[in-house]
A and B are shown apart, each in its own frame.
Chain A
Amino acid sequence: MNFENLSFYLFAAVLIGAALSVIFSRNPVHAALSLVLAFFTAAGIWLMLEAEFLAISLILVYVGAVMVLFLFVVMMLDINLNRMREGYWNYLLPALIVSGIFLTELIVLIGGRVMFNKPADVPAAITSEGNTLQLGRLLYTEYLYAFELAAVILLVAIVAAIALTLRRRKDMKLVSSNEQFSASRESRLKIVSMPVEGGRREDPS
């Protein structure tokens, strides 16, 4: 068993362990962290397949952005676990049926090929340069225009998000602390001299 095989089995074992822990851990934060580990090891396996662009984007996009957001939401939401577990046995049967269908479909689709045929050899890369370089070359030359347009769409998304959310709500009760500190006695209370009782001109009734 050479080093490559050894590391593949290591990664695969960690990946399966992490995936199982996503499902079985009772604490949603632990589940999210296990998912991060699963993504990380999957990225490792992709790296071994020389698909380094996929690996990098998996780590940058999923681990870096999506999972952080996930964790954030899970921590913010304060999910009541007992309420989520209600009706577990009611959902079990439909869930088993659906996953049974999934499994059969998978077996029909790929099972025969994997079980009875020798796995196809991984096609050798056309050039020795990495696929990040090749993708980048295509993206910045042939699809330059489309790439720029995608950037403009992102810019529009930023502008729109800010334009729609940055506003003063009418029902907001927040007060400016600066204004509060700079308040003086004169700005809050005005003493006016009023005529005494006898000086009243007309009867209010």
Chain B
Amino acid sequence: MDFQLLDLYTLAPEIFLLMGVSVILLLDLFISEKRRNVTFFLSLIVLIITSILPWLFYDAEPRVIMNGLIVSDALGAALKSFLCVLIAVGLVYSKNYLLPRGLHRGEYFSLTLFAALGMMVMISSNHFLSLYLGLELLSLSLYAMVALQRDSGRSSEAAIKYFILGAIASGMLLYGMSMIYGATGNLNIEAIVFAILTGDADSTLLRLGVVFLIVGIGFKLGAVPFHMWVPDVYQGSPTSVTLLIGTAPKIAAFAFVLRLLAEALGHPSLHQDWSQMLTVLAVASLVIGNVVAIAQTNFKRMLAYSTIAHMGFLLVGFMTGSITGYSASLFYVLTYVLMALGGFGVILLLARDGFEAEELSDLSGLSQSNPWCAFLLMIILFSMAGIPPTVGFWAKLFVIQAIVDLGYVGLAVLAVMASLVGAFYYLRVVKIMYFDANESSDATVTYRTGLAIFGVNGLLLLGLGLFPGWLLSLCESLIESSVRTF
């Protein structure tokens, strides 16, 4: 056993977050209903401090601690920090949405923080055990949050679907992990890599394990054909929970796939197998996500299908198995969550007591009643569609560049065609906002803080689109310094 007190410093973000959420959980019991804001602000403070902590104690070179369960590296620190800021912004967006719906409760905030903890564990895992435990911590918190609105039938339906399919996915993942354990005799990523390199591992069993892992990952990412739960869960959950599900977990899922496939099973003989499977998932997601989104009339459901298509793009970058591909995927996921944050954020801002603002027709005439909001939403939708000068264009470009460099021209053409189809339904929303008159529209946003954050969010997408270079080089350096490839 090589436990050192110094390791606890590296774990400071997780430890602080856990302590913070425990304190909030206890404190909330003694706070009266009227002063529930205290819980809200405490959660924000905890998240902000947690987002600073990784920068104080991170290692430039990957360092394995806690007996091989955790790895501390620059990528982990960056993702954890970004994730906490993202969740904090999501909470600010949700503030006025939660109050009239009876969701402004201590449990909502503590479950959000628990989910954040689960994601942080996933991001810095170096062991299948901690990967799985982090994933379960995240999933369990999310299942409960989807179901929090007990009197809503749709939300209960979404929770049941999410829970059952999530449990199946976890089962698949575990089965795959157990096969890899059987083949290599270890759960530690470095030990698995060693066993594969020395040729001790049974390659048939290893491949079978990879298949099950891919199925589990497909479920968790919501890639076609394992996407059935995504639209129902996105539409059925309270919008604030949809925002949480649609943003931060994508980053954690990226790190999860990176640790699992790129680091543990990135050996060329195995990469050949999983890259083919990921290609199939990616192509199906791109096509079905973009085409089915056209038929949607519900904004949340449309964004759900758009998520599926974006996850397809993420997998396209990932299947290359190269540093440039991973960096392009990282760039894609970081910018995508910013877009999703704004997209769901605007629904939260426009919603009032008894009005969800989640149908596409609810957005008609928004340019008259609230031009600023409409302009920002336009930027976000342009970014999702990949129209320059927004950052979404660069995200798609970098992914396509990465695959064209490696010779996957056919796949690149297909990705571009799918984005072209996707542009249709994004632009249709812009058309509804700007050209469809709606006399009865009174889409006023009284929540000033939310509107200000929304402004920053939208302009950030524009600003990143004008200066994408530094973010790309940051992504590249993070991947290069942290991912231990073969």
Contact = CB atoms under 8 A, between A and B. Distances in A.
A75 interface: no
A162 interface: yes
B351 to A, nearest CB: 22
Contact of B107 (A152, A153, A155, A163): A163
A73 B366 CA distance: 56
Interface in A145-201: 145-146, 149-150, 152-153, 155-157, 159-160, 162-164, 167, 170
Interface in B116-130: 117, 121, 127, 129-130
B137 A159 contact: no
Interface string B226-264: 000000000000000000000000000000000000000
A58 to B, nearest CB: 23
Nearest to A162: B107
B114 A156 contact: yes
A157 B66 contact: no
B143 A160 contact: yes
A153 B147 contact: no
B51 interface: no
B259 to A, nearest CB: 15
A142 interface: yes
B151 A143 contact: no
Contacts of B66: 144-145
A156 B107 CA distance: 10
B133 A149 contact: yes
B140 A160 contact: yes
Given A141-B3, A157-B140, A170-B151, A163 B111 contact: yes
Contacts of A152: 18, 114, 117, 137
B148 A163 contact: yes
Contacts of A146: 69, 127, 129-130, 133
B1 A142 contact: yes
A159 B130 CA distance: 21
B408 to A, nearest CB: 38
Contacts of B148: 163-164
Contacts of A162: 107
A163 B150 CA distance: 10
B144 interface: yes
A4 to B, nearest CB: 35
B3 A153 contact: no
Interface residues of B, number: 31
Nearest to A147: B133
Contacts of A150: 133
Contacts of B320: none
Given A159-B25, A159-B114, A160-B144, A149 B107 contact: no
A141 B114 CA distance: 24
Given A144-B66, A162-B107, A153 B144 contact: no
Contacts of A153: 133, 136-137, 140
A164 B110 CA distance: 14
B67 A164 contact: no
A141 B105 contact: no
Interface in B138-191: 140-141, 143-144, 147-148, 150-151
Contact of A145 (B69, B108, B147): B69
Contacts of B121: 149
Contacts of B117: 152
B210 to A, nearest CB: 23
A163 B151 CA distance: 13
Contacts of B134: 149
B328 to A, nearest CB: 32
B217 interface: no
A159 B110 CA distance: 9
B127 to A, nearest CB: 8
Interface string A47-88: 000000000000000000000000000000000000000000
Contacts of B144: 156, 159-160, 163-164
A65 B453 CA distance: 50
A43 to B, nearest CB: 27
Contacts of B136: 153
A185 B341 CA distance: 57
A142 B67 contact: yes
A149 B130 contact: yes
B70 interface: yes
14 contacts: A141-B3, A143-B67, A144-B67, A149-B121, A149-B130, A153-B133, A155-B114, A156-B141, A159-B107, A159-B111, A160-B111, A164-B144, A167-B150, A170-B151
Given A141-B3, A152-B117, A156-B137, 12 more contacts: A141-B1, A143-B67, A146-B133, A149-B130, A149-B133, A149-B134, A157-B140, A160-B143, A162-B107, A163-B111, A163-B144, A170-B151
Interface of A: 141-146, 149-150, 152-153, 155-157, 159-160, 162-164, 167, 170
